[in-house]
Amino acid sequence: KKHKFWETQPVGQFKDVGDTSLPEGPIEPATPLSEVKQEPYNLPSPYEWTTCDMDSEETCTEVYNLLKNNYVEDDENMFRFNYSKEFLRWALRPPGYYKSWHLGVRAKASKKLVAFITGVPARIRVRDEVVKMAEINFLCVHKKLRSKRLAPVMIKEVTRRVHLENIWQAAYTAGVVLPTPITTCQYWHRSLNPKKLIDVGFSRLGARMTMSRTIKLYKLPDSPATPGFRKMELRDVPAVTRLLRNYLSQFAVAPDFDENDVEHWLLPTQDVIDSYLVESPETHDITDFCSFYTLPSSILGNQNYPILKAAYSYYNVSTKTPLLQLMNDALIVAKQKDFDVFNALDVMHNESFLKELKFGPGDGQLHYYLFNYRIRSALRPSELGLVLL
Ligand SMILES: COc1cccc(CC(=N)NC(=O)c2cccnc2OC2CCNCC2)c1
């Protein structure tokens, strides 16, 4: 029986799709904290809950290794995400985070970390409502413990811990279809190092294409074209916050970032997040912004290369520089930083540059979900202003 678990949860059910009599908003009401289950859910007897302290070098290394060996792979099992420890600390400790939402499962006998799931707090606007949510991510069960039905009880336990902080909604993504996506995005890839991408099987040589012709096709200038294009600095946080809040206000679902959030999520951190902006040489106004995060993948079974260095488009705002030119400058700096590929979803206005900047469509889709919040009808990806890590 498909979705046995999800049919028990307050999420849009397939049977309700199209029923416009159902109101937009929470599916189940918040409950008084006294009514939230006080004790953790039961795990199968060989396992125990653990809270993962990401400040601890040892625990962060355990989380890193669990994900490195057991987290999401592409459809052909050629690549596996390889989030760095620095990235995980950044992703899991935003303003107002709760350690109790960094939930692990250990084998009682060996004390080995065998599963993980996380939440971080976020204010997400859905149309005109700003809703406090948990962004759920990094659900990972060790390969040897799959189909022991650990995921449902991990989801229930992290939900219980989110409820204890009086938060009743969540946002998450998955590569699989669950009840019920609020939108479904295509992912796109722009080759920066085509020779390596073909060597490792990420890309294939085009028909009637030689390798040297392919290298020439993807060649980029050595430096950005836009005057005033520079790295973001701490002093830019107020202006970038204004620029981003205004830009994101046009989308149906988007984060409600304040200056604290912008300082955490968008200030450059080496090998984690890169952010650039355009400061007008005449007026010194900040008119445009682009950012991408660093998410390498392990290359499974290639002798020459162990790692694929990938940049993922994050938040981009263009008010003066054409988005096409701004993103081409992002590609140029990503190539300068030795990334092999630049990935993007067809969310926000990304569709306007993907083909022209020589992105090719990926072979999969990323589905976005809200927990305990119904929306009237599914969104187009271009109506979505939320990028999860
Ligand atoms: C190239 O190495 C991969 C290793 C594992 C999976 C995939 C395919 C894939 N599933 N890609 C995405 O989900 C994806 C493609 C483009 C942009 N963002 C993405 O996912 C982000 C956001 C969701 N959490 C994972 C990272 C590729």
pLDDT of 147 > 90? The answer is: no
Select from 247, 25, 11, 241 the least CA-distant residue to 126. 25
User: Does 260 have pLDDT greater than 90?
Assistant: yes
Q: How far is CA 271 from CA 88, 122, 316, in A?
A: 12, 23, 19
What confidence tier does 64 reach under pLDDT thresholds 50, 70, 90? very high
Give the burial string for 180-218 (b: 16+ CB within 10 Å, else e). Answer: bbbbbbbbbbbbbbbebbbbbebbeeeeeeeeeebeeeb
Distance between CA atoms of 381 and 183, rounded to whole angstroms?
6
Q: Is 388 in the pocket of ligand 1 (CB under 6 A)?
A: yes
CA of 118 to the centre of ligand 1 (A): 17
Q: Look at residue 2 in the predicted model and tell me its pLDDT.
A: 86
| Average pLDDT of the segment spanning 107-114 | 98
Whether residue 315 is predicted with pLDDT greater than 90 in this model: the reply is: yes
Per-residue pLDDT for 76 more than 80? yes
Q: Are 374 and 25 in contact (CB under 8 A)?
A: yes
The model's confidence at residue 140, banded by pLDDT at 50, 70 and 90, is: very high
Is any atom of ligand 1 closer than 6 Å to the C-beta of 72? yes
Beta-bridge partner residues of 186: 365
What is the bridge-based pairing of β-strands 310-313 and 341-345? parallel
- Which residue of 70, 78, 79, 81 sits with most ligand 1 atoms within 8 Å of its CB, as the best mutation to test the pocket? 81
Could you read off the pLDDT of 38-48 as tens digits, one per residue?
999 999 999 99
Q: Does 389 qualify as catalytic in the annotation?
A: yes
Q: What is the Å distance from ligand 1's center to 361 Cα?
A: 13
**The pLDDT of residue 198:** 97
pLDDT of residue 145: 98
Q: If pLDDT is split at 50, 70 and 90, which confidence band does 115 have?
A: very high
Marked catalytic residue, from 243, 266, 345, 389: 389
The answer to whether ipTM exceeds 0.85 is yes
Confidence at residue 201, expressed as pLDDT on a 0 to 100 scale: 96
Rounded Cα distance, 65 and 82, in Å:
9
Residue 340, pLDDT > 90, answer yes
Strands 113-126 and 253-255 come out as: antiparallel
Q: Is 243 exposed, middle or buried (0-12, 13-18, 19+ CB in 10 A)?
A: buried
- Over range 299-314, report the average pLDDT: 96
Given CA atoms 254, 186, 10, 14 in this order, what sign does their dihedral have?
positive
Q: For residue 53, give the nearest of 26, 23, 89, 79 by alpha carbon.
A: 89
User: 255 forms bridges with which residues in the sheet?
Assistant: 124
Mean pLDDT of the chain: 97
Distance, in Å, from the CA atom of 220 to the CA atom of 204, rounded to the nearest integer, reads 20
The reported pTM is 0.98
Q: Is the CB of 297 under 6 A from ligand 1?
A: yes
Cα–Cα distance measured from residue 192 to residue 308, given in angstroms and rounded to the nearest whole number = 11
List, for residues 196-222, the tens digit of each pLDDT value. 999 999 999 999 999 999 999 999 999
Residue 174: band (very low, low, confident or very high) from pLDDT cuts 50, 70, 90: very high
In the chain, % of residues over pLDDT 90: 97
pLDDT-derived band of residue 1, with 50, 70 and 90 as boundaries?
confident
**What is the Cα–Cα distance from 74 to 210, expressed in whole angstroms?**
26
Indicate left, alpha or beta for 18 from its phi (over 0: left) and psi (-120 to 50: alpha).
Answer: left
Question: Given pLDDT bands bounded at 50, 70 and 90, which one contains residue 301?
Answer: confident
Residue found under tokens 């290794």: 65
CA distance 86 to 270: 9
32 CA distance to ligand 1 middle (Å): 38
The model's confidence at residue 9, banded by pLDDT at 50, 70 and 90, is very high
Q: How far apart are CA 194 and CA 92, in angstroms?
A: 33
Q: Which two tokens stand for residue 295?
A: 């998410």
Q: What is the pLDDT of residue 357?
A: 98
The answer to whether 11 touches 372, Cβ cutoff 8 Å, is yes
In this prediction, residues 378-384 reach a mean pLDDT of 97
Ligand 1 atom 7: residue of nearest CA: 74
Chain centroid to CA 340: how far? 19
Residue 256 CB less than 6 A away from ligand 1: no
Contact 140, 83 (CB under 8 A): no
- Amino acid letter, residue 166: N
**Rounded distance, CA 292 to CA 315, Å?**
7
